[in-house]
Every structure is written in C-alpha cells, then in structure tokens.
Amino acid sequence: MISKWTERIALAALITLLSTVVFDSQALGQATSLPSSHLINPEELVKVLQATKGEKPLMFQVGSYVLYAQAHIPGSDYVGPVTSELGLQQLRRRVESLPRTKFIVLYCGCCPWSHCPNVKPADDALHAMGFTNVKVLYLANNFGADWVEKGFPVAKGQ
Amino acid sequence: MAVGFYLKARHSFRARQSSAGLHSTAPNFSLPELNGHSLQLSDYRGKVVLLDFWATWCTPCREEIPHLVELQKKYRDQGLQIIGVSMDDSPEPVREFYRRFHMNYPVVMGNAGIGELYGGVLGLPIAFVIGRDGHISAKHIGATDASVLEQDIRGLLSQ
C-alpha cells in the first residue's frame, strides 16, 4: 500500500518535473551559452563609463522593472524581460533606428548567470538585427552582489 | 554633480540594507495578495514566517516552490506561515503559476518599496526566516536547499 508520505514525495517530484518541462523553452536561452567575446565584466564597463575618451555605450536593462526601480546603472534604460515576444518587440523597437555599429551593453542580474533567462535572447535579437558591437554585462550572481555591493555607480527610480 | 549623485545613491542603498539585518525586527508591510485582499506582515506575529522573494521568470525560484508547498503542508499546524513576495512586474503570470503549482500559501505582489525595505532585493530568490517574535533569524540569498530552510524553521518552531 502506498503511504501518504510516498504520495506527497511523488507529487513533489511530478511538480518539479512539470516545472522543468513547462519552462523548458527558457533553457534554450541560457546565458552560459554566450561566447566570451560577447561579454564585458563590471570592472571593464566601469572603466569605459568613467573614461574621458571613447564611445559611451547605450545600456539596456532587460530584467524586471521592480529590480530596475530599486537600482540600475545610471544612464541605462529599462527595456524589460525579453522572455516574451512582447519584450523582444520592445527591444527591437528601441534600437531599430540606430546604426548597426552602435556600442550597446545589455544587462539583467535578476538571477545567477546560469539561470538568467533574459540576456541570451536579447543578445541573439540584436545580433540577428545586424548589430556588431553588442556586449552583455557578466553578473555572476546578481546585480546586487556583483554591481551594487562592489560600489559601482547606481541610480534608482525611473 | 555626477559624483555627488553617485555617493548619495550609494549611501541610501547602505542605509536601506541595515533596515532588515539579522536579529532586527522584520519591517512591516501591507501589500495586495493575488485575490486583491491586503496582507500585513504584522498579522502573522506569533507564527514562524518564511518570507520568500521570488518571480515566475526566475528558474531557481520556481524550483524551490514545490519544496515550499511541502514545508507549508508539513508545518502549518505547528505555526509555520510561508508568504511569497512576487517581484514580477504584473500579477497575471503569478496567478497562472499559483494555480498550476497548487501553491498553498499567500503570495503578494512586491514592488521596489518592499525591496528597499528589506535591504535591496536585487537578485532572486531571497528568503528571510522570521521568528515568532518578529525578528529576522536568517537570510538566504540564492537557491537554498529545502533541508536548510527546514532546519531553520524547525529550530524556530520549537522555541
């Protein structure tokens, strides 16, 4: 006879499995599959932003607005999560009139790098549009730990 | 001017961080649940509270939910109350997720205000374990093994 406890464990396992299957599409967009040539470290980006010479990048936050409103890189624009088609459309609209050589930095930092669902689809979309100078900010843990707590510049609000 | 703004932003972030430190009283809040009713943290004084900041688009958060459902089921009668704080931008995906995964504890819609109140929720998931006296006993950043959370909860339930 199957005990109630066994039933509960089986249910939990089933829910976990369903969770994996339901959100399987996001696994395809994992940040870990981004080539290293597409990445920029926080320290490098800060140097670029503080340099008196050189092109300044256009920066887009492609994560949640609730996170953006708490803290974001000064001068960066909120685009929103690009896990949905709506989010991707917003990103495409935002850049469509720009020269394809424009220096663009994408960042999210919602979750550990290996779990970020946003940066890879955003990078793919810009490259598909022909942009040749796109970098993704490498945030190993999240925006709080790898940017804010390291003392890099932050702004909050809209 | 830019430097001044930067320093001000840094200072305010640090000040906020200290508001929800370990052993301090968990900041009270009132936020709407998915059913529209307002949930106030102070109403749960006397219970052990696990405050889970999460979002539907956050993979490690989603993976934790079935375990949290189990913990809520297992320890409800002993005084555990899990409260989910969704950091999604809109409630629609949260409602769908709530139904699909048979969540058995209240979920409120978070905002930047509660994030700041709890020291800056700038990465998910983050869980705060709060004792019956309302003090923060533990803070777990990132995916946390269910056994670790259970150990925290059991320790507080027995006090």
- Of the candidates B9, B88, B111, the beta carbon closest to that of A154 is on B9
DSSP state letter for A135: E
| Average pLDDT estimate for B17-45 | 89
Residues from chain B contacting residue A78 (CB–CB below 8 Å): none
The pTM of the full predicted model, rounded to 2 decimals, is 0.80
Per-residue pLDDT at A24: 42
**H-run or E-run covering B151:** helix B146-157
CB atoms closer than 10 angstroms to residue A133: 14
Q: Does A155 touch chain B (CB under 8 A)?
A: yes
Q: Does B9 touch chain A (CB under 8 A)?
A: yes
First to last CA, chain A: 59
Q: Does B14 touch chain A (CB under 8 A)?
A: no
Give the residue from A56, A83, A111 with the most B CB atoms within 10 Å of its CB, the best one to mutate. A111
What does the mean pLDDT of chain B come to? 88
- In order, the DSSP letters of B39-106 are EEGGGGTTSEEEEEEE-TT-HHHHHHHHHHHHHHHHHGGGTEEEEEEE--SSSHHHHHHHHHTT--S-
Catalytic residue list of B: 58, 61
Condensed to tens digits (0 to 9), the pLDDT of residues B106-152 reads 999 999 999 999 999 999 999 999 999 999 999 999 889 999 999 99
Selection from A19-28, B2-11, B141-150 with the highest mean pLDDT: B141-150
Report the C-alpha gap between A30 and A15 in whole angstroms.
22
What ipTM was estimated for this complex? 0.77
Asked whether residue B5 carries a pLDDT value surpassing 80, the answer given is: no
Per-residue pLDDT at A15: 46
| Structural contact between residues A60 and A76, judged by C-beta atoms closer than 8 angstroms | yes
